């Protein structure tokens, strides 16, 4: 038997006294408690460091990566060109940050007569630059379809007007309104017009928004077969502080600049809009080759002034929108 085996045999034959076992047990227990405490402290410390670090990383991402300003611009400019007769006041945007996310809450306005009325309240949540949630609360009693198809747009291309039978009905709706009211109307035209021509034809009312012919409106389908909806621009200068159309440039020029900007962020712009497909590249190419031609407009004015438009042969389709009590200041 070697020395190691002798030492093992001796330890077995000479058990540790009970007092020493108790001391050893207490020592091991204290050591285990201390280890648990250290692990807990490390976990809490890590969590306390992780939250502010993650928040700082979130801020850094939205400030230096996908800029919060870019997200705001894509959101607001998309709504300006895809939602007829609407405006935003970006100074009223409520912006908030959470872990890897940014949220925006803001109101959308609609001009009826000479005053702006709240139309929607939007809530948008972005996660790492992508739109992850979109909610809206519609205020007006009558709103245009959120997802128009080739059979039910409120602004129709002249190629879709052959079977339109709703015009006489809409004139009857208009005539039945009280005299002291102001009205919003969506008007589709018999051919393509310039804005100068339309200002001369509709001088008794305000033209608020123009639907631009982009080469896909005859079928409302993109070259890939996806349903597309009208895009256009506000006609009047928008006095909202941060509006892209509050500038010395012509609104047509601003419209093209917006398209050139949004095509760089088309996936996000499509998610923001109510449209399934914006088809921006082909529509931009068409506009730059053919110029801006208008097939539909949104107008507002006193009920009797809109009734006087019935004599115009250029109106081939119309849809009455919002109606408010008299506020006409023009």
pLDDT tens sequence across 222-242: 777 778 888 999 999 887 777
Q: Across the strands, what pairs with 106?
A: 122
Domain extent listing, the chain: 3-64, 69-325
Element housing 175 (H / E): helix 167-175
Count other C-beta atoms under 10 Å from residue 306's C-beta. 26
Count other C-beta atoms under 10 Å from residue 212's C-beta. 24
Contact 239, 251 (CB under 8 A): no
**Distance, C-alpha 322 to centroid of its chain:** 22
Question: What single DSSP character describes residue 158?
Answer: G
**Distance, C-alpha 18 to centroid of its chain:** 76
* Separation of alpha carbons 112 and 131, rounded Å: 31
> Would the CA dihedral through 63, 66, 67, 72 be positive or negative?
negative
pLDDT tens sequence across 35-90: 556 565 555 454 444 455 555 555 555 555 557 788 889 999 999 999 999 998 76
* Separation of alpha carbons 298 and 209, rounded Å: 5
pLDDT tens sequence across 104-130: 899 999 999 999 999 889 999 998 778
Question: What token pair was written down for 110?
Answer: 């609609």
For the beta sheet containing 315-325, the strands, ordered from the edge strand earlier in sequence to the opposite edge, are 232-234, 206-212, 294-302, 181-193, 315-325
Residue 285 has a pLDDT of: 96
pLDDT tens sequence across 23-38: 555 555 555 455 556 5
Residue 200 has pLDDT above 80, yes or no: yes
> Which has more confidence, 205 or 17?
205
Count other C-beta atoms under 10 Å from residue 100's C-beta. 15
Give the CA angle between residues 77, 134, 132 to the nearest 5°: 100
Contact 142, 160 (CB under 8 A): no
Contact 262, 272 (CB under 8 A): no
Of the candidates 99, 144, 108, 329, the residue with the CA atom closest to the CA atom of residue 240: 108
The mean predicted confidence, pLDDT, of the chain is: 81
**Distance, C-alpha 142 to centroid of its chain:** 20
Prediction pTM value: 0.79
**How does DSSP assign 247-264, residue by residue?**
SSS-HHHHHHHHHHHHGG
């Amino acid at each position: 038997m070697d020395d190691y085996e002798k030492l093992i045999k001796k330890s077995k034959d000479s058990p540790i006294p009970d007092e020493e076992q108790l001391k050893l047990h207490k020592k091991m227990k204290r050591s285990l408690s201390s280890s648990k405490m250290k692990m807990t402290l490390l976990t809490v410390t890590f969590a306390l460091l992780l939250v502010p670090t993650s928040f700082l990383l979130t801020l850094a991402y939205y400030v230096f990566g996908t800029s919060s300003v870019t997200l705001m611009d894509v959101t607001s400019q998309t709504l300006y060109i895809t939602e007829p007769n609407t405006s935003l006041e970006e100074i009223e945007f409520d912006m908030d940050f959470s872990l890897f996310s940014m949220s925006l809450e803001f109101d959308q306005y609609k001009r009826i007569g000479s005053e702006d009325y709240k139309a929607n309240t939007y809530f948008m949540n972005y996660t790492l630059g992508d739109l992850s949630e979109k909610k809206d609360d519609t205020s007006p009693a009558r709103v245009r379809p959120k997802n128009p198809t080739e059979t039910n747009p409120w602004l129709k291309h002249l190629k879709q007007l052959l079977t339109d039978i709703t015009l006489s009905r809409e004139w009857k709706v208009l005539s039945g309104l009280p005299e002291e009211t102001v009205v919003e109307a969506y008007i589709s035209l018999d051919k393509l017009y310039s804005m100068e021509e339309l200002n001369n034809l509709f001088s008794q009312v305000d033209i608020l928004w123009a639907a631009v012919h982009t080469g896909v409106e005859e079928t409302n389908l993109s070259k890939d077969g996806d349903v597309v909806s009208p895009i256009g621009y506000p006609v009047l200068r928008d006095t909202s502080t941060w509006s892209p159309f509050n500038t010395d440039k012509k609104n047509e020029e601003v419209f093209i600049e917006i398209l050139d900007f949004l095509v760089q962020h088309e996936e996000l712009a499509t998610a923001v809009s109510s449209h399934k497909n914006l088809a921006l590249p082909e529509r931009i190419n068409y506009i730059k080759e053919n110029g801006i031609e208008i097939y539909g407009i949104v107008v507002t004015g006193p009920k009797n002034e809109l009734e006087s438009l019935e004599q115009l042969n250029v109106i081939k389709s119309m849809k009455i929108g919002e109606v408010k009590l008299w506020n006409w200041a023009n």
